[in-house]
Amino acid sequence: MFQAYWYMTKLRVLTGLAYRFEVFASVGTNLILMVASVFLWKAAYSGGSGGSAGMTLHELVTYTIVSILLASLFVTDVQDTIYYKIREGKIVTDFYRPVPLLACYLAEDIGSMLSSLMNKVLPLFLVASLLFGMPLPSSWVGMLLFIPSCLLSYAILWLLSAIVGLVAFWVMELGNMGNVKDAIVRILSGSLVPLWLFPQAVQTISAYLPFQYTYQTPLGIYIGVTGTVEALRAMAIQGVWIAILYAILALFWRHTKSKTLIQGG
């Protein structure tokens, strides 16, 4: 079974390498966003040397660069895959696969991630290093904790996308639901702006939601704002959210399979 998953992952990697224009467009868009964000923070900090919410300008610049790199790396196309499979009637043939269907979609997204790592993340990292200096972690301990935290972050993001994708079994037309979910994640995850800069009420509410544990948690570990003990505690919370979301996904999956209704196929 592992060979089947590896084959789907490898196929998606090769597919990602074939679409060069999409790669150039994505790299260009993220590069513009990176440069604009970094210069925005530099302009905001030009009035003094102090930092906001205990963060220095260097930490904010590193946070911004690594956040954009993670956004390019974290591929969660499962919601769109499920939606288009149902809409085009191809979901029926997928059910005949000898391996679990959602695991197939996960393998494909991992393949897309590996492709993005080579095509998008590495070029962005090199350009960012030339323009603003290499965005190094605060310490080797932070780097060692950053990697597993990123894996947990991706698991949360993927499970959220899969849950939204399963809604298509019930409504058959997601509309802008996926875009709304992506916008909420971008804002409440600290991907665009660290939640430490938000009002205290927003920070309190976000602590009880899974979103901040997708971007801000690993990024805080990377730049050293989150200490070792706090990092381990945050990673434990990430694990709890993965368990909760997986339970919700398993429950939805069991009920939605019986509700499959193909439109136009």
Q: Which residues touch 159 (CB under 8 Å, ≥6 apart)?
A: 242, 245, 246, 248, 249
The string of pLDDT tens digits covering residues 170-208 is: 776 666 677 788 888 888 999 988 998 888 888 898 889
Query: What are the structural domain ranges in the chain?
Result: 1-264
Share of the chain above pLDDT 90, in %: 42
Q: What is the pLDDT at residue 263?
A: 45
Which is higher by pLDDT, 159 or 49? 159
Q: What are the DSSP E strand ranges found in the chain?
A: none
Distances (CA, A) of 260 to 87, 91, 245: 11, 9, 22
- pLDDT beyond 50 at 262: no
- pLDDT beyond 70 at 218: yes
Share of the chain above pLDDT 70, in %: 85
Which is higher by pLDDT, 84 or 8? 84
Only one residue has tokens 């350009």, namely: 127
- pLDDT beyond 80 at 17: no
User: Is this prediction's pTM over 0.85?
Assistant: yes
The string of pLDDT tens digits covering residues 226-254 is: 999 999 999 999 999 999 999 999 998 88
Q: Backbone dihedral region of 199: left (phi > 0), alpha (psi from -120 to 50 degrees) or beta?
A: beta
Q: What is the pLDDT at residue 259?
A: 59
Q: By three-state DSSP, how is residue 90 classified?
A: coil
Q: What share of the chain is helix, strand, coil (3-state, %, to 5)?
A: 75, 0, 25
Q: Which two tokens stand for residue 117?
A: 């790592």
Q: What is the pLDDT at residue 186?
A: 87
Average model confidence (pLDDT) across the chain: 85
Per-residue pLDDT, averaged over 48-63, amounts to 75
- pLDDT beyond 50 at 261: no
Which is higher by pLDDT, 75 or 257? 75
Alpha carbon distance 84, 108 (integer Å): 15
Q: Which residues touch 74 (CB under 8 Å, ≥6 apart)?
A: 113, 153, 154, 157
Number of helices (H) and strands (E) in the chain: give both, helices first: 13, 0
Per-residue pLDDT, averaged over 13-28, amounts to 72
Q: What is the CA radius of gyration of the chain?
A: 19
The string of pLDDT tens digits covering residues 91-149 is: 777 777 777 888 889 998 999 899 889 888 999 999 999 999 899 998 999 999 999 99
Which is higher by pLDDT, 245 or 262? 245
